[in-house]
Amino acid sequence: MKICIVGCGAIGSLFAAHLAQLENVEVWAFDLDRRHVDAINANGLRLSGESSVLSYPRASSNPGDIPPCEFGIVATKSMHTQSAIENSAGIFKQGAVLTVQNGVGNEEIIAEYVPRVMRGTTFPAGHMVEPGHVAQDTGGKTWIGPFEAKPAAQEEIETLASLLTESGMETLAMEDARGAQWTKLIFNAATNPIGALTGLPHGVACDQPMLRKVISGLVAEGVAVAGALGITLDSDPDELVDHAREVAYLHKSSMLQDVLAKRATEVAAINGGIVKFGQEKGVPTPLNEAIWALINGLEHSWTRDDQ
C-alpha cells in the first residue's frame, strides 16, 4: 500500500509521520520546501508536543520521483490546491485522493485531475518547528467521506480511515462527510477573520458583545447556506464558538497568525466558500462578503510601502 501526502507542511506532516509508522504502508511526501524534504530524507520526520513520533516517510519536491499511489492526502493551504494537484495528479491515476484542507471548494478542484475524491475534515493542528520537525498542538478526530460528484468507493474510504486510526489519528469513515466539514467551515468563517481583523484572541473577541453578535450573524449566514445545500450540521456552530471561548480563550486563530506574519490567508476557501455556495443557492451572505473583502484589503495593504 502506497500513500502520498501532497503538501507536507504542519498538517501534512502530522499525517505523513503517523502513517509512516505502519509496516504495511509506504508513505511519500510531496512538498516544494526542499529544506524540509532533505531533512526528512536525511533524519526522518519528527513530531513533538501532543505526539511523540519519529518515522521515515520518503520525501521529494519532484512528483516524477514518486511511484503510483493508491491514496493521496492533500494538505496544502487552500490557495495552492490547484498547482499542487496539477503537478502530482500523475501519482494518482488509479488512486483515491482525500483533502484535509481548510474551507470548501478543494474537492471540486482536485476532482478535475484525479478519478476518485474524498472530502475530509481534520481537527488536529500543529506548527513547523524546523525542517523535519513539527509540533502537534492539538489532537482531535478526522472525518472522511465521498466527494459526491466524483466519489471514492466506500471500501477505499473505510480502508484509509482504519489505516489512519491504526496509525494514531482517530478517523471516522462517513457516508456523508459534509456535515462535519460545514460545521468546521462555519465555525472558522465566523471566528478566524474576527481575530485576524481585530488582533484579538478568540475569547477576548467573544467577550465584546457587539463582536459576539457579528460572529452570530456570520454563523447564521453559513447555517442558511448549509441548509439550502441539504447539509445536516454535526452540531450548532454558535455553541462551538462558546465552547471554544471556554477551552481556548487566548487562542489566536490561524488566520490571525497569517496576518501577523503578513502571509496570504485562506479567506477565499473559508468566507469565500460560503459566499460562492450561497450565490449558487440564492442565499444572501452580505456579512461573509464584507469580511472577505476586508481580509483581501488587509492583504493588499502589505504590498504598499506607506506603512
Partner 1 sequence: MNPIRSVCIAGAGAIGGLFAGHLGSLVDTKVLVRRQDHADRLNREGLRISGKSDLQTTVLASIEPAELDDVDLLIIATKAMAVESVAKCIAGHFDRAAVMTVQNGLGLEDVVAQYGDWPMISSITFMSGVRHSDVHIEYELDTETWLGPWNQRGASMNFAQAVAELIRNSGLRAKAFEDVRPAQWSKLVFNSVVNSIGAVTNLPHVKDFANREKITDLGNLVARMMDEGKAVARAQGIELYEDPWEMNVNAVNRGKTGEADYAHVFSMLNDVRAKRSTEVGWLTGAIVREAHRLGIAAPIHEVMYSLVKGIEQTWEPNDERRGEETAT
Which range in 33-41, 69-77, 137-145, 193-201 contacts partner 1 by CB under 8 A? 193-201
Q: Are 226 and 186 in contact (CB under 8 A)?
A: yes
**Alpha-carbon gap, residue 228 to 12, rounded angstroms:** 32
Contact with partner 1 (CB under 8 A) among 22, 54, 129, 214: 214
**Alpha-carbon gap, residue 299 to 278, rounded angstroms:** 24
Contact with partner 1 (CB under 8 A) among 175, 250, 261, 282: 250
> Whole-number minimum distance, CB 217 to partner 1, in Å?
7
Distances (CA, A) of 203 to 86, 155, 169, 198, 290: 39, 41, 28, 13, 22
Contact with partner 1 (CB under 8 A) among 205, 226, 240, 255: 205
**Alpha-carbon gap, residue 116 to 147, rounded angstroms:** 8
Q: Which is nearer to partner 1, 175 or 306 (by Cβ)?
A: 306
Which range in 56-64, 159-167, 235-243, 290-298 contacts partner 1 by CB under 8 A? 290-298
Which range in 11-19, 27-35, 174-182, 296-304 contacts partner 1 by CB under 8 A? 296-304
Q: Is 300 in the site for partner 1 (CB under 8 A)?
A: yes
Q: Helix or strand or coil: residue 123? A: coil
Q: Is 225 in the site for partner 1 (CB under 8 A)?
A: no
Per rule CB under 8 A, count of chain residues that contact partner 1: 37
> Whole-number minimum distance, CB 137 to partner 1, in Å?
14
Report the phi/psi class of residue 49: left, alpha or beta, with left for phi > 0 and alpha for psi in -120 to 50: left
> Whole-number minimum distance, CB 306 to partner 1, in Å?
6
141 is catalytic: no
Q: Are 78 and 102 in contact (CB under 8 A)?
A: yes
Closest CA to 6 of 104, 109, 146: 109
Q: Is 278 in the site for partner 1 (CB under 8 A)?
A: no
Q: Is 282 in the site for partner 1 (CB under 8 A)?
A: no
Q: Is 115 in the site for partner 1 (CB under 8 A)?
A: no
Q: Which is nearer to partner 1, 24 or 300 (by Cβ)?
A: 300
Q: Helix or strand or coil: residue 75? A: coil
Helices marked H in the chain:
10-19, 34-43, 81-88, 106-111, 154-167, 178-198, 202-206, 209-228, 237-247, 254-260, 271-281, 286-301
Closest CA to 245 of 274, 216, 286: 216
> Active site residue: 77, 184, 262, 276, which one?
184
Q: Which is nearer to partner 1, 144 or 275 (by Cβ)?
A: 275
Q: Is 275 in the site for partner 1 (CB under 8 A)?
A: yes
Contact with partner 1 (CB under 8 A) among 62, 94, 198, 235: 198
Q: Which is nearer to partner 1, 34 or 302 (by Cβ)?
A: 302
Q: Which is nearer to partner 1, 13 or 271 (by Cβ)?
A: 271
Q: How far is CA 220 from the centre of its chain?
A: 22
**Alpha-carbon gap, residue 194 to 211, rounded angstroms:** 8
Q: Which residues bind partner 1 (CB under 8 A)?
A: 194, 197-201, 203-205, 207-208, 210-211, 213-214, 217, 249-250, 268, 272, 275, 286-287, 289-294, 296-298, 300-301, 304, 306-307
Catalytic residues: 184
